[in-house]
Amino acid sequence: MPAAEAGGPLADEELDGLFAPLAGAAVIALAVSGGADSLALAASVARWRGRRRGRPDAIVLTVDHRLRAGSGREAANVAEIAGRLGLAARVLVWSGPRPRANLEATARQARYRLLLTAAGEAGASHLALAHHRDDQAETFLLRLQRGAGVFGLAAMRPMVAAGAITIARPFLSVSRSRLVATTAAAGLEPVEDPMNTDPRFARARVRRIMPLLAADGFDAARIAATAARLAGAAAAIDAAASALIATAVETDGCAVARVEPAAFGAAAEEVRLRALARMLVAIGGEDYPPRHVRLRRLLDAIAGHGGGRFKRTLAGTVIEWRAGRFLLYREWGREAPPTVTVKAGHEGTWDHRFRVAVGAGAPAGLWVGPLGEEGRRLVGAYAGQWPAAALATLPAVRRRGKLVAVPTLGYAGPGGEGLPVAVSPVLGERLSVPPLFPDFDTDA
């Protein structure tokens, strides 16, 4: 339910609509910095919860970034306000070295790492942020300045998965002025972050020109509405990319994707570009797709391939021509897949490509990590079926440092016979779901 355009504080019935997507959450974590926007979020959630039994518990999370004097006092003040609102609170402290360059971006990323970790520890299924319509318009303009395509200009989405936590932005249809009014109506005194008006930062510079744009009709409401329409266009491209992946891409038990060139090449360029980005993210495991320029360069190389030798790497993925098809598989050597200790009862995803389940009776001392070059040579009989480097990135089970099993290949060495460790690829599942990427370009 879009918020009304009136300039006053949010009404109870509006909150019911804005927070409806959160009604089924286990616990809601609220990112609150102490500014007017995030205090409006805390006050609104407290009011919404108080109006009906059975609504989710909520916890306020605030970060003391220690970048300026008084930050600790501000964080403590947020926790005190949360208590007055009847909400639990936790202060998170960013410690460690500070970079000399890109401090704003580094601090933002650190803040979200702290918030997501704390949300998980609190049992939250959702982390709610106070980004609003004016933030959405500013994000659109920043993306436009960078030359973003349709998916970038769609700007922030109301719901985006960030691992096990869903990032929620219930206020994207609400103006900044209404959130300020909501905070004032709750009797709360916000703090002002000087970074919000510091012209050294791009967002502050965009914020400064917004009134000039609004005077000529380019106000936040119109810009945000354009971003919403582009989000619809992006969804349509994603649907076409899903259909293309279903018809032109096959995946196998070793998480190798095989692309049929004729079927792939027949699709529209934007659809191919999105399908390629989705394959790179699913296989290489990067948090975000590669830059548009690099992605398009790879797509052009694929389109111009004449049938000879072809091998490229991008975003942790190898793209190779074999037997009349393009193969995409995890790159070996740049950054090795993880190594994790496992025991009976373990269930989880390994290197985002395989599901690992360890049954009862599993011996102690097991760990799962990449097969590697030495292990690949040990199971070299399989090398003709897959690229050697793809085999090196498969999950292997070791005990006390010795290779005992490679379940995806059906290999069992000494001590590996009957080992209750099941491994299954999830690449096909990942490819079938259009990804949305957590957007941390702005603060709440």
Specify the CATH class of 12-227 in words.
Answer: alpha beta
pLDDT score, position 6: 57
pLDDT score, position 288: 78
Taking the domains of the chain in order of start, what are their residue ranges?
A: 12-227, 241-333, 340-430
pLDDT score, position 334: 74
Domains 12-227 and 241-333 share a fold: no
- Residue 367 tokens read as 């760990």
- Find how far residue 86's CA is from the centre of its chain: 31
Residues facing 325 on adjacent strands: 322
Q: What angle do CA 336, 338, 340 make, to 5 degrees?
A: 150
pLDDT score, position 77: 95
Burial class (CB in 10 A: 0-12, 13-18, 19+), 335: exposed
pLDDT score, position 388: 86
CA dist 115 → 8, 108, 122 (Å): 30, 11, 10
pLDDT score, position 381: 58
Per-residue pLDDT tens, the chain, 444 aa: give them. 344 455 799 999 999 999 999 999 989 999 999 999 999 999 999 999 999 999 999 999 999 987 777 788 999 999 999 999 999 999 999 887 766 666 666 777 888 899 999 999 999 999 999 999 999 999 999 989 888 889 889 989 999 988 789 999 999 999 999 999 999 999 999 987 766 777 777 888 998 999 999 999 999 999 999 999 999 999 999 999 999 999 999 999 999 999 999 999 999 999 999 999 999 999 998 877 888 889 999 999 999 998 889 999 999 999 999 999 999 999 998 777 899 999 999 999 999 999 999 999 999 999 999 999 888 887 765 556 788 889 999 999 999 889 999 999 988 888 888 899 999 999 999 999 888 766 554 443
pLDDT score, position 162: 84
What's the CATH number for 241-333? 3.30.465
Helix (H) or strand (E) holding 31: strand 27-31
pLDDT score, position 1: 39
User: Sheet harboring 325-330: ordered strands across?
Assistant: 249-251, 257-259, 325-330, 317-322, 311-314
Task: Write the DSSP string, 261-314.
Answer: HHHHHTS-HHHHHHHHHHHHHHHH--SSPPPHHHHHHHHHHHHT--SS--EEEE
pLDDT score, position 13: 96
